């Protein structure tokens, strides 16, 4: 009887721990933990001339790259700056757009110069023929875990991420907030 009670308590403790972890991971507006895959988006890919939906423009580093629909074959880290599937687009309230690209060397290393971005720099995003202006709020590096830890701001956000230029197995994360109109 004592053994059954002990096993039951262990199972109960495990279940409570799992439920607590789930509850913590879904707290909105406190912290967003986005599990993203840079290489597959779990949706059927298309390749149409209408797939382009905007541009990412960072004048400081001479970057002006097209953005494509999430379902486009061109929305691939192996081809362009990539919109991650967890994104909420800027034409929606409380948007948070996640963009990823390679750094390093080569023709697809679009975020190679992202390391030169500073707090308060301006990032411009065109999306569906409208222009959005963002200001860099903070920059950090975190261990690559498949998640980006971002505190959700009450304003629209743009998150840029790439491999860390200085630390192996880390990623550089740049959090931008939409400027007041």
**Which long-range contacts does 99-102 make (Cβ < 8 Å, 24+ apart)?**
99/56, 99/67, 99/158, 99/159, 99/160, 99/161, 100/36, 100/38, 100/160, 100/161, 100/162, 101/65, 101/77, 101/162, 102/77, 102/162, 102/163
Which domains are delineated in the chain? 31-178 (2.40.260.10)
What is the residue whose two structure tokens read 């096993």?
A: 7
What is the residue whose two structure tokens read 């009670």?
A: 5
Quick one: pLDDT at residue 64? Answer: 96
Query: What is the rounded CA–CA span in Å between residue 135 and residue 61?
Result: 15
Please report the DSSP string for 116-167 in residue order: G--TT-EEEEEETTEEEEEEEEEEEEEE-SSEEEEPPPSS-EEEEEEE-SSS
With a cut of 80, say whether residue 160 has pLDDT above it: yes
Q: Taking the model in full, what pTM does it have?
A: 0.74
With a cut of 80, say whether residue 149 has pLDDT above it: yes
- According to DSSP, the β-strands at 130-143 and 122-127 are antiparallel
Quick one: pLDDT at residue 19? Answer: 44
| pLDDT tens, residue by residue, 53-90 | 999 999 999 999 999 999 999 999 999 999 999 999 99
For residue 27, the Cα-to-chain-centroid distance in whole angstroms is 17
pLDDT greater at residue 151 or residue 181: 151
Could you tell me if residue 128 is left (phi over 0), alpha (psi between -120 and 50 degrees) or otherwise beta?
A: left
């Amino acid at each position: 009887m004592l053994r059954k009670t002990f096993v039951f308590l262990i199972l109960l403790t495990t279940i409570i721990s799992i439920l607590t972890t789930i509850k913590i991971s879904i707290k909105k507006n406190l912290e967003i933990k986005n599990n993203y895959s840079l290489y597959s988006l779990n949706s059927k890919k298309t390749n149409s001339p209408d797939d382009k939906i905007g541009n990412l423009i960072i004048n400081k580093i001479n970057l002006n790259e097209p953005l494509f629909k999430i379902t486009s074959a061109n929305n691939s880290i192996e081809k362009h700056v990539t919109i991650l599937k967890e994104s909420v687009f800027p034409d929606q309230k409380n948007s948070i757009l996640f963009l990823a690209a390679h750094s390093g060397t080569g023709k697809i290393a679009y975020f190679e110069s992202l390391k030169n971005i500073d707090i308060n720099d301006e990032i411009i995003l065109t999306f569906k023929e409208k222009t959005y202006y963002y200001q860099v709020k903070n920059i950090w590096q975190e261990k690559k875990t498949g998640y980006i830890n971002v505190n959700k701001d009450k304003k629209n956000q743009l998150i840029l991420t790439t491999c860390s230029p200085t630390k192996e197995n880390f990623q550089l994360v740049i959090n931008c907030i939409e400027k007041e109109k």
